[in-house]
């Protein structure tokens, strides 16, 4: 059965996040031959709207509004509910990002929709949509479908491949006016704890350090390797607790959940709480001087050695490979 699916694109630092294209691809599958409508809030949206169309949206709605540039629960909830009223879609897809996780359950509760949170796959056939999501910290997967009413889902970044970009594709881009009022929260300023770099949640390659880096200075060789690979730097909670790095880098059960193509773990033991955040990475490389470290049990490639010798050698070799 053809469905109309609304996909909320996400803009960070003026750039459309990759998860927006992945959400469009998920929307295409759920639409099952129906319509995928992209939705963008903020400012200077025309170029981003064109991108969503090239990645598979049939049309895009944009709401240029200074109150919607920075995500706030109040403003986004009001705006998305108004669009839901106007468009009456069969489903809404968001990224499983900080804002998507915050917004989706509020919308689901308000419109009486079923919500699938943190989906890593979705299939539609014969009128039924089946989502796959990890449970028990990624040790198992469950399959879910929503039997009644609109479908809401958040999709985990880096799991559903975007559609191939079609540079020649065009579609309708309509500007809509939404009223957001009585806002209890207004973002005055964003102060970043980490400087620039690749977004951890969407990174294709992550170089992560643990307590084995021994100091904040010890992260430098990891950062150098990350720079050569175009990777993001992450950390275990051990490294964060020891104040070697900021908690925004923490990966694991109580940190970020990541699914990069390549995860290089250096000087971290592989505690169960850390594995909960990275064990679904496509390829895992572990560097640890203890051959019995549990990280080797989940690693595809293991290097037993001192990270301060191994990581600089890897950096040198990757530099050569990249320049060739
Ligand atoms: P360690 O376990 O101390 O491991 C350090 C490793 O470095 C060792 O294996 C050692 O052999 C190796 N090493 C040392 N020097 C070198 C060297 N020069 N070269 C190579 N290897 C070296 N942890 C998380 O990471 N994320 C979470 O989200 C998280 N949530 C938690 C939630 C709860 C409720 C609890 C109780 C714990 C949580 N933890 C989490 C903590 C977790 O249990 C571990 O304590 C933590 O992951 C250990 O960090 P680590 O691997 O860096 O340190």
- Domain for residue 156, yes or no? yes
Q: Exposed, middle or buried by CB within 10 Å (0-12, 13-18, 19+), for 64?
A: middle
Which two three-digit tokens encode residue 92?
């809404």
- Residues of the chain with pLDDT > 70, as a percent, come to 98
Q: Is the pLDDT of residue 234 over 60?
A: yes
Cβ of 28 below 6 Å from ligand 1:
no
pLDDT in tens, 130-143: 999 999 888 899 99
Q: Please state whether beta strands 121-125 and 128-135 pair in parallel, antiparallel, or not at all (unpaired).
A: antiparallel
Look up the CATH number of the domain holding residue 81. 3.40.50.620
For the sheet containing 283-288, what is the strand order? 232-235, 205-209, 262-266, 283-288, 301-304
**Ligand 1 atom nearest to 308, measured from its CA:** 18
- The answer to the question of residue 58 being in a domain is yes
Token pair, residue 150, equals: 């609109």
User: Do 207 and 244 reside in the same domain of the chain?
Assistant: yes
CATH number of the CATH domain containing 305: 3.40.50.1220
253 CA: nearest ligand 1 atom: 28
Beta carbon of 279 within 6 Å of any ligand 1 atom: no
Average pLDDT over residues 7-22: 95
- The reply to whether 141 and 208 lie within a common domain is no
CA distance 240 to 120: 28
Q: What is the pLDDT of residues 249-305, one digit of tens each?
A: 999 999 999 999 999 999 999 999 999 999 999 999 999 999 999 999 999 999 999
Percent over 90 (pLDDT), the chain: 88
Tell me, yes or no, whether 114 lies in a domain.
Answer: yes
Same domain? 54 vs 171: yes
State the first-to-last Cα distance of the chain, in angstroms, to the nearest integer: 50
Number of domains in the chain: 2
* Same domain, yes or no: 211 and 254: yes
Do residues 169 and 208 both lie within one domain?
A: no
**For residue 187, is it within any domain?**
no
Range of the domain at 261: 200-323
DSSP letter string, 253-300: TTSB----SEEEEES----HHHHHHHTT-SEEEEEES-TT-THHHH-S
Residue 289, in any domain of the structure: yes
pLDDT confidence band for 212 (50 / 70 / 90): very high
Q: Is the pTM of this model over 0.75?
A: yes
Q: Clarify whether residues 137 and 253 are in a common domain.
A: no
CA 193 to centroid of ligand 1, rounded, Å: 22
Average pLDDT, the chain: 95
DSSP-derived letter for residue 157 is T
Please check whether residue 78 lies inside any domain of the structure: yes
- Mean pLDDT, to the nearest integer, of 211-234? 97
Query: Does 209 lie in the same domain as 168?
Result: no
Q: 46 and 13 in contact (C-beta within 8 Å)?
A: no
- 148 and 251 share one domain: no
Q: Say if residues 154 and 117 touch (Cβ distance below 8 Å).
A: yes
Query: What average pLDDT does range 209-217 have in this prediction?
Result: 98
Query: Which structure tokens are listed for 320?
Result: 């050569």
Kindly state whether residues 212 and 169 are assigned to the same domain.
no
Whose Cα sits closest to atom 33 in ligand 1?
A: 273
Last residue in a domain, options 175, 190, 211: 175
């Amino acid at each position: 059965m053809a469905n109309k699916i609304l996909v909320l694109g996400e803009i960070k630092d003026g750039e459309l996040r990759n998860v927006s294209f992945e959400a469009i691809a998920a929307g295409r599958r759920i639409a099952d031959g129906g319509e995928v409508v992209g939705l963008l809030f903020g400012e200077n949206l025309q170029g981003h709207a064109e991108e969503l169309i090239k990645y598979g949206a049939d049309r895009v709605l944009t709401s240029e509004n200074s109150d919607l540039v920075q995500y706030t629960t109040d403003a986004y909830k009001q705006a998305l509910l108004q669009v839901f009223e106007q468009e009456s879609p069969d489903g809404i897809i968001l990224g499983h990002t900080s804002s998507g996780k915050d917004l989706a359950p509020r919308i689901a509760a308000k419109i009486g929709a079923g919500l699938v949170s943190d989906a890593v796959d979705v299939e539609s056939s014969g009128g039924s949509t089946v989502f796959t999501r990890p449970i028990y910290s990624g040790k198992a997967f469950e399959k879910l479908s929503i039997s009644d009413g609109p479908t809401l889902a958040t999709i985990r970044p880096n799991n559903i491949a975007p559609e191939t970009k079609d540079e020649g594709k065009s579609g309708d881009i309509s500007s809509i006016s939404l009223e957001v009022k009585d806002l209890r929260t207004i973002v005055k300023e964003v102060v970043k704890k980490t400087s620039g770099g690749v977004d951890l949640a969407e990174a294709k390659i992550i170089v992560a350090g643990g307590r084995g880096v021994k100091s904040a200075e010890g992260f430098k060789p990891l950062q150098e390797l990350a720079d050569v690979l175009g990777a993001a730097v992450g950390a275990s909670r051990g490294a964060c607790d020891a104040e070697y790095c900021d908690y925004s880098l923490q990966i694991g059960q109580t940190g970020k959940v990541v699914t990069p193509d390549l995860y290089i773990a250096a000087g971290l033991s592989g505690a169960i709480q850390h594995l909960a955040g990275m064990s679904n990475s496509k390829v895992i490389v572990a560097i640890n001087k203890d051959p019995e470290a549990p990280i080797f049990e989940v690693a595809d490639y293991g290097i037993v050695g001192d990270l301060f010798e191994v990581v600089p050698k890897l950096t040198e070799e990757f530099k050569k490979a990249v320049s060739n």
